[in-house]
């Protein structure tokens, strides 16, 4: 067991640009970026920090907050949510919620992920935070907690509004955070489906992310279009062990955004490969839990970690990592951050990955602690 000191850190990136002088893959985009998911390394970028209207790519954070509420247990997929007049009155893309209509969280989330439904986004935002504006405050807090400084949200859906903006880099980082919740891909990979199937108000959902059918490995994430934003797309694709995130903003139309996003994905898959370092589900060993019903618990990384290598070039070999664990005191839940892995290249930290426990550990009562004490005396595990 490693004994320890550490500040409890969220996942922190030190983005590395691995590109040399590369061709302009996105000549018509106002801004673009290509990032490898597990390393966080940037393969290509263009005006990646320019502030631009993000349109419905805003919903990446809307979906993130909803999934986090579900994972915390404060929201369930089966819960019936009532649509308010504000939600049902939303313009733009929608699933045509009526005021007072009840619909499950799952179906509303599907409406957001597949059809970019503004009415469903507002209805779930109100359910999570009470009002949409309170939810938007949570959105802004969440992106700031990720270290993103060039994003400002004014709504949960992405319709044009003054001071509602983001950047290609920030959007890619939001997508990366969302992809930690693999459940989202079950929804964003749907190309077409019906809601209210057996009613006279059924709605045919058709995904505007045509890369789902045009490009091998694409399983998400979010399109967008408004007058101010132009055509936008955050696409993610996985081939073998490598997942890429491509963002294009300010394209002239959907055909161009698809073409330029695919060019970036082609470039990434053709020119680069990942070198895995840490697998999320692999145990890092056991640590003691103070006052826990289980005396020890296994720990693991919160996500996969890797580095990126250019095909045909020597692999990066001066990589090492170590970790520190904070004192774990029961109760502790799976997902709680209990330490940090420090990944280093040539002795310099290039990435930090949070550590969590593999299962929940409840606090032991006085009887559990007493009988454990007796057992330790008998087994000779106590040191005096």
* pLDDT tens, position by position, 13-70: 445 555 545 689 999 999 999 999 999 999 999 999 999 999 999 999 999 999 999 9
Cα distance between residue 349 and residue 259, in whole Å: 36
CATH of domain 277-379: 2.60.410.10
pLDDT of the residue at 233? 98
Catalytic residue among 30, 46, 59, 351: 59
379 noted as active-site residue: no
Statement: residue 372 has pLDDT above 90: no
326 noted as active-site residue: no
pLDDT of the residue at 377? 72
35 neighbors 48 (Cβ within 8 angstroms): no
Catalytic residue among 84, 116, 166, 354: 116
- Region 192-209: mean pLDDT is 94
Category of 315 on φ-ψ map: left (φ > 0), alpha (ψ -120 to 50) or beta: beta
pLDDT in tens, 279-308: 887 889 999 999 999 989 999 999 889 999
Statement: residue 228 has pLDDT above 90: yes
3 noted as active-site residue: no
Which of 118-132, 176-190, 291-305 is predicted with the least confidence, judged by mean pLDDT?
291-305
pLDDT of the residue at 1? 37
Buried b vs exposed e over 111-123: b needs ≥16 C-beta within 10 Å? bbbbbbbbbbbbb
Name the CATH code of domain 49-239 (choices 3.40.710.10, 1.20.990.10, 3.40.50.720, 3.40.50.970). 3.40.710.10
> What CA–CA distances, in Å, run from 267 to 107, 253, 307, 314?
36, 22, 17, 19
pLDDT in tens, 318-366: 989 888 888 899 999 988 999 999 999 999 998 899 999 999 999 988 8
pTM reported for the whole predicted model:
0.87
In the chain, list all ranges with CATH 3.40.710.10: 49-239
| Local structure of 232: helix, strand or coil | strand
Cα distance between residue 17 and residue 128, in whole Å: 37
Give kind and range of the element (H or E) at residue 371. Answer: helix 366-379
Please give the structure tokens belonging to residue 73.
């247990």
Cα distance between residue 142 and residue 145, in whole Å: 5
Statement: residue 2 has pLDDT above 60: no
- Region 225-240: mean pLDDT is 97
Q: Compute, in degrees rounded to 10, the torsion defined by CA atoms 71, 73, 76, 82.
A: -120
Strands 272-278 and 283-290 come out as unpaired
pLDDT of the residue at 19? 53
In the chain, list all ranges with CATH 2.60.410.10: 277-379
Q: Which residues lie below 8 Å from residue 91, measured CB to CB, with a gap of 6+?
A: 118, 159
Catalytic residue among 56, 84, 166, 231: 56
Most confident of 95-104, 291-300, 304-313: 95-104
């Amino acid at each position: 067991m490693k004994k320890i000191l550490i500040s409890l850190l969220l996942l922190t990136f030190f983005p590395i640009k691995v590109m040399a002088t590369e061709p302009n893959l996105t000549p018509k985009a106002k801004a673009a970026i290509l990032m490898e998911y597990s390393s966080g390394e940037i393969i290509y970028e263009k005006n990646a920090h320019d502030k631009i209207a993000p349109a419905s790519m805003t919903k990446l954070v809307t979906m993130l907050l909803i999934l986090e509420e579900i994972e915390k247990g404060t929201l369930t997929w089966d819960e019936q949510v009532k649509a308010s007049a504000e939600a049902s009155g939303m313009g733009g893309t929608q699933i045509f919620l009526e005021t007072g209509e009840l619909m499950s969280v799952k179906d509303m989330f599907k409406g957001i992920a597949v059809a970019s439904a503004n009415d469903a986004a507002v209805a779930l935002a109100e359910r999570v935070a009470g009002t949409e504006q309170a939810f938007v405050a949570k959105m802004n807090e969440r992106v700031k907690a990720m270290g993103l400084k060039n994003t400002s949200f004014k709504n949960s859906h992405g319709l044009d509004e003054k001071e509602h903006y983001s950047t290609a880099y920030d959007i890619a980082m939001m997508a990366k955070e969302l992809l930690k919740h693999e459940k989202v891909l079950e929804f964003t990979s749907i190309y077409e489906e019906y809601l209210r199937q057996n009613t006279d108000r059924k709605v045919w959902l058709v995904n505007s992310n045509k890369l789902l059918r045009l490009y091998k490995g694409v399983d998400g994430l979010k399109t967008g279009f408004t007058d101010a934003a132009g055509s936008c797309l955050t696409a993610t694709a996985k081939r073998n062990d490598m997942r890429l995130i491509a963002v294009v903003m300010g394209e002239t139309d959907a055909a161009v955004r698809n073409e330029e996003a695919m060019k970036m994905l082609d470039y990434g898959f053709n020119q680069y490969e990942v070198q895995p370092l840490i697998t999320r589900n692999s145990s890092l060993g056991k640590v003691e839990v103070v006052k826990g019903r289980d005396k020890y618990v296994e720990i693991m990384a919160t996500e996969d970690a890797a580095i990126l290598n250019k095909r045909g070039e020597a692999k990066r070999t001066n990589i090492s990592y170590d970790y520190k664990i904070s004192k774990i005191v029961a109760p502790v839940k799976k997902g709680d951050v209990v330490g940090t892995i420090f990944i280093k290249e040539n002795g310099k930290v290039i990435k930090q990955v949070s550590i969590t426990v593999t299962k929940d550990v409840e606090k032991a009562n006085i009887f559990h602690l007493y009988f454990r004490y007796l057992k330790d005396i008998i087994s000779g595990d106590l040191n005096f």
